[in-house]
Structure 1
């Protein structure tokens, strides 16, 4: 089955998950803490409702496919096609009423990211790609996504979820990069990667990511002409320490600073 056959289905997943989430947004929803004593790691009823809805659709439509999700764990991960789901990436923003969260829907084929979508149902935006091209669809219509040229860190806009999520040597490495950059913005979660693919942000640096935090974003970034890897230049698909850039020259400069 060709990957293009999944395009309509991914949009159905996005629509259904958005319908499950939006009744909870900007309400007095309670959040549980999954951190077990670490940094606050919230989960809400909206997270669970969204992922349950997507899992049900996947099982019904493609019963042989695998699933990796943030809230309910892995299923059949040895399958050729494995869906990688984060129902609300940016739950901290969600519970604060900020629209910088999104639903991440990724599809691995034979263990490699092949298609991804970030859906922001409140703003009505969808960012999606297949590693070869990437597209934005929203209130202003539809357009091709393209990263922008930026060869130098001193000219770069950089983003990370929060410097407080880095510790020890990772924090020192991040500080080396941010200290050179023109501008730093925090708290954007998956939205930062989509702004990179759109040509508004130049560099995103993160640490401690899980596969469901990044798999859906890799085909979007690469499809828009960017590059996303681990800090050591390896695959980003397993999460961990991630660096994404719109320009390969900027990526190389960031990796050099991060690996000192």
Structure 2
């Protein structure tokens, strides 16, 4: 990627996209919400009319500005798989929260180059704030029009760290018993993408989740890294693979958590990376 060009074009586009998304949400906020379960059997995996409306809106913005780019979204088919540039979209991350009126849901959009997340946007319409990275080393939160630089809490120690985690019901009791030290440390609330951006603000020192798909995590990876955080899977692989995710504010915490998670380091819920 041409660094001078991309450091201007894509962050600027994502900034404007956040503004446009919030205006769009205000227009449709009073519309009826239709909810369906995408999972024909078993766990509740909802999709709403708002998920689809958001994704269509985002796709339209990308198509107009970058017509040759690939688009991979949660709700609709992939467009132009041959492009080196791909946009990964989660129109509503935290649909269950959205359905019950919890304001922690977000819009997640990532720009990838040859499969690697480069720029990300995490937009929280109900919380009036959004997060994005300006470059590989700089990320911001914008709340009520005021921009502030993001920085993970690098001074945190393992004994004093704040850990947020959630398993979304995927870990059995037997599996959880294998990581009792992790369970003892999980004393702070976790809520989808909001946990990751709270980490980027230095409010949380480590985050663990176990069922992230690419559209759940790709937009957050560049923001996490630009804020100084470390991200990997539980088996210490590239987080772009999705599935199990560990985020830490420094290497000491990260390595210690990898050790605690080792009994489940190869755990991948069926189809989670698809």
TM-score (norm 2): 0.86
Conserved in 1, the CA contact under 8 Å of 2:118 and 2:222?
A: yes
Cα distance between partner residues in 2 of 1:128 and 1:167? 35
Residue pair 1:174, 1:205 contacting (<8 A) in 2 also: no
Q: Which range moves more in the overlay, 224-233 or 8-17?
A: 8-17
Q: What residue number does 1:160 align with?
A: 165
Q: CA deviation at 1:28?
A: 5.8
Q: Is 1:151–2:157 an aligned residue pair?
A: yes
Q: Contact 1:65 / 1:80 at 8 angstroms: preserved in 2? A: yes
Which stretch of the first structure deviates more once superposed, 46-55 or 163-172? 163-172
Choose from 111, 114, 123 the match for 2:127.
Answer: 123
TM-fit CA distance, 1:73: 3.0
Query: Aligned in 2, Cα 1:86/1:259: closer, same or farther, shift over 3 Å?
Result: same
Q: Note closer, same or farther for the CA distance 1:22–1:243 as it changes in structure 2 (3 Å cut).
A: farther
1:244 aligns with 2:250: no
- The answer (yes or no) to whether the contact 2:166–2:210 under 8 Å persists in 1 is no
> Which residue does the alignment assign to 1:132?
137
Aligned to 2:20: 16
Going from structure 1 to structure 2, the CA distance change for 1:92 and 1:23 (only over 3 Å counts) comes to: farther
Matches of 2:13 and 2:174, distance apart in 1: 42
Per-residue CA distance 1:35-89 (angstroms, 9 max, x = gap): 2223211111111001101111111221110111111132223312111111110
How much does 1:32 deviate?
A: 0.9
What secondary structure, in the 3-state scheme, does the structure 2 residue paired with 1:165 have? coil
Query: SS in structure 2 opposite 1:37?
Result: coil
Are 1:16 and 1:54, in contact at CA under 8 Å, matched by a contact in 2? no
Distance 1:247 1:214 in 2: 19
Contact 1:147/1:196, CA 8 A, preserved across alignment: yes
- Separation (CA, whole Å) in 2 of partners of 1:10 and 1:214: 16
Q: Does 1:68 align with 2:99?
A: no
SS of the residue corresponding to residue 178 of structure 1 reads helix
Distance 1:256 1:192 in 2: 22
Stretches of structure 2 that go unaligned for 5 or more consecutive residues are 264-274
Show the counterpart of 2:111: 107
Name the SS of the counterpart of 1:64 in structure 2.
coil
Equivalent-residue separation in structure 2 for 1:11 and 1:227 (angstroms): 24
Q: Structure 1 residues 80, 170: CA separation in 2 closer, same or farther (over 3 Å shift)?
A: farther
Distance 1:6 1:164, change over 3 A: same
Unpaired runs of 5+ residues, structure 1, are none
Taking the TM superposition and a 5 Å limit, the aligned residue runs for 1:93-242 are 93-129=97-133, 130-139=135-144, 141-148=146-153, 149-152=155-158, 154-162=159-167, 164-167=169-172, 171-173=176-178, 175-179=180-184, 181=185, 183-186=187-190, 188-242=191-245
What's 1:45 paired with? 49
Query: What is the rounded CA distance, in whole Å, between the counterparts of 2:182 and 2:50 in structure 1?
Result: 35
Q: What is the rounded CA distance, in whole Å, between the counterparts of 2:31 and 2:175 in structure 1?
A: 36
Query: Is the 2:167–2:210 Cα contact (8 Å) retained in structure 1?
Result: no
Partner of 2:272: none
Aligned residues: 257
